[in-house]
Structure 1
């Protein structure tokens, strides 16, 4: 029996505040999603120190599995502007996660170029959320 693929994506700003977050899973678990949201946020914020350490050591933007908490693996992508993209995932999917990070980075760059967007503020755009859903279905689930 194979476990369901679950993914939690979050963009973290300069001051460790979440800018955008989204859950992806291969099965529809709305009740479990609401119960585990706080745990996912805790795991993501606990991994930030490891992400910062790895970003100083490595010259690459994409950091493969850098941390693990119970069944959750943590992968990261650090932009040149020090915005951190974190992906919590239950199964390894390195290439899909890398492609998802690349697409979301490009989407974030386009969104951040909007003169009405303040860097580091929460992203509440339906278009941005739709792009994340499309890329999540394409590369992750």
Structure 2
């Protein structure tokens, strides 16, 4: 399961970041922030080779010693970043894709709320419940 889930606006500011409670949560914020360069690089490389047939799932952005960072970009350039522990080898690529699909569906449901203004921080309890179901449970 995930140790950090984030939603990043197309202008690269965070709309939502949820981490597991640790003594060093700032490390996850830094990891998400540094992954945005890799996301932009992958999106621009795909944009040059294919017309509008872009894969939303970007796959593994980069591994660190303790974590693996995965990325996903919507058609409206909203970025989802999920960080999982490297020691959790039971997660397969199709399970990561499933997590992103679930997160994307929750984001779309939250976006359909007439009281939400696009570009504001996400405060939806239903969205947070779905993200909590994806987080690492001890």
Query: In which range does the TM-score fall when normalised by the shorter chain?
Result: 0.7 to 0.9
Mapped partners of 1:10, 1:36: distance in 2: 16
Superposition TM-score, scaled by structure 2 size: 0.81
Give the total of aligned pairs: 126
User: 2:50 corresponds to which residue?
Assistant: none
Superposed counterparts of 1:79-118, under 5 Å: 79-91=74-86, 92=89, 93=91, 94-118=93-117
Change in 2 beyond 3 A, CA 1:12/1:98? same
Secondary structure of the residue aligned to 2:69 is strand
Mapped partners of 1:113, 1:68: distance in 2: 34
Mapped partners of 1:120, 1:132: distance in 2: 19
Superposition TM-score, scaled by structure 1 size: 0.79
Asked if 1:43 corresponds to 2:31, the answer is: yes
The unaligned stretches of length 5 or more in structure 2 are: 47-53
RMSD between superposed Cα atoms in Å: 1.9
Superposition misfits of 4+ residues, deviation over 3 angstroms: none
**Which structure's residues are more often helix, by fraction?**
1
Superposed counterparts of 1:115-126, under 5 Å: 115-126=114-125
Equivalent residue in structure 1 for 2:71, among 50, 60, 76: 76
Higher relative contact order (CA 8 A, sep 6+): 2
* Deviation, structure 1 residue 95: 2.1
